[in-house]
Amino acid sequence: MATKQLSSFTLGLALFAMFFGSGNLIFPLFLGQLAQDQWLTAGLGFGITAVIVPLAGVFAMVIFKGDYSAFFGCLGKKGGLLTIFMLLAVWIPLGSGARCAMLAYSSILPYTENPIPLWMFSAIYCSLIAFVVYKKSRMLDILGHFLTPVLLFCLGLIVAWGINFESIIPRWTEEAGTLFVRGLTEGYHTMDLIASFFFSASIIEILRRASHNESLSLKKTLKASLIGAGLLAVVYAGLICLAAGNTDILQGVPKEQQLVTLAKTVLGSQLGIIASLAIFLACFTTSIALANVFTDFLAEKIFRNESTSGLSLVITQIVTFGMSITGLEGISFVTGPLLEVFYPLLIVLIVFNVGRKYLTSAPKKEIKQVSEEAACCNLSELELQS
């Protein structure tokens, strides 16, 4: 099917699949376990920074017609490039790329009697990612189209069978404000606001090239983002409720192993291993996409030479490997403080840039309208004179 014929719903699923990475599986569960019967308050905070704020990022990219360089251009040429580099570095090799390796490792732990050390697994994992990216293999791209439905099906089964409704009746206490703030900060860790700029820009560009209709591309992207955000909100709510009602199972379980533990407990060993395999493959394909993005950026924008793509790929994977072996706590220790600075900064940039766009476009519309009215008056005078 041609890209221009894709419906907004199909594009919404694709955008959801792009956003749905390792952090989207880890942090809602941890928050639900932490909040327990106050999951609603914490979930509202999480929804703001993990759903609504990234949606605002997509909206900003639609306003800027998919040009994220122009969006960050208000910081100056060098300042904008430095900001983009820092955002991509925090998002990919320091954050999501390393977390994907961690979650992939955790997905096999319950089914391995003598697991290899994390550093050895991560070295093999990052090397395989580098090999696939270097060879430009399309096999896993095709496989990725089937992984999201399989993963969602497994998650649906875990949530439907595992939610303990009696334990998740929400209540309000004095800790509600604290948990709401905790939900906000945990939403930062998904890094979806950073991802929203680059993923939506990619979709706009793909649609523009396919349809040669910029207005249609922007409208479809906006509709797709609403669908993708709605799906994320539903999945987050399910995962938070699931963990809130199964705190006894998750007691003492590390964040990155909570989903696999729930899958094995709720679905049993046979179905649980299918869920674990889906998680592993989803992490692998996501890692490939992330490595591609950062490698291309380094080669094109930093080294300014496409022949350095091999070196850029090696740098990307070395940093990813180094961060992954520090564990989830180590990754959060590095990225957490940075995200608490970047998220408010990006929100301010969205408000500033979108407001500036509207303020500068309004006078232009008025000038155009006045010009059209003047032209009509001149035409009428000429007709009367003739």
DSSP codes, 311-368: HHHHHHHHHHHHHHTTHHHHHHHHHHHHHHHHHHHHHHHHHHHHHHHHHHHHHHHHHH
- How is residue 377 written in tokens? 């008056």
Strands (E), 176-307: none
pLDDT tens per residue across all 386 residues of the chain: 444 456 778 778 777 877 777 788 889 999 999 988 888 899 999 999 999 999 999 999 889 988 888 899 888 989 999 999 999 999 999 999 999 999 999 888 888 877 889 999 999 999 999 988 887 655 555 555 666 677 778 788 888 888 877 666 766 666 778 889 999 989 888 888 898 888 888 888 878 877 777 788 888 888 888 988 898 999 999 999 888 888 888 888 888 888 888 888 888 877 778 778 878 887 888 888 889 889 989 998 899 888 898 999 999 999 999 999 998 889 999 998 898 888 889 999 999 998 887 777 655 544 445 445 444 444 444 444 54
Query: Which is nearest to 169 in space by CA: 113, 237, 241, 119?
Result: 241
pLDDT of residue 170: 67
pTM of the model: 0.81
Alpha carbon 219 to its chain centroid, in Å, reads 20
Whole-angstrom distance, CA of residue 252 vs CA of residue 275? 21
Contacts of 179 (CB under 8 A, 6+ apart): 34, 35, 38, 41, 42, 45
Rg, the chain, Cα only: 23
Characterise 373 by phi-psi region: left (phi > 0), alpha (psi -120 to 50), beta (else).
alpha
pLDDT of residue 22: 75
| Cβ atoms of residues 129 and 294 within 8 Å | no
| Cβ atoms of residues 15 and 225 within 8 Å | yes
Query: Which is nearest to 322 in space by CA: 312, 311, 334?
Result: 334
pLDDT of residue 315: 96
- How is residue 321 written in tokens? 């490997």
Phi, psi dihedral angles at 76 (to 5 degrees): 95, 160
pLDDT of residue 367: 40
pLDDT of residue 38: 85
* Integer CA distances (angstroms), 53 to 26, 229, 262, 288, in order: 19, 10, 29, 26
| Cβ atoms of residues 87 and 376 within 8 Å | no
Whole-angstrom distance, CA of residue 56 vs CA of residue 305? 33
pLDDT of residue 264: 84
- How is residue 265 written in tokens? 């407990």
Contacts of 128 (CB under 8 A, 6+ apart): 284
Query: Taking the CA of residue 20 as centre, how many other CA atoms within 13 Å lie in the half-sphere pointing to its CB?
Result: 29
Query: Which is nearest to 341 in space by CA: 214, 193, 232?
Result: 193
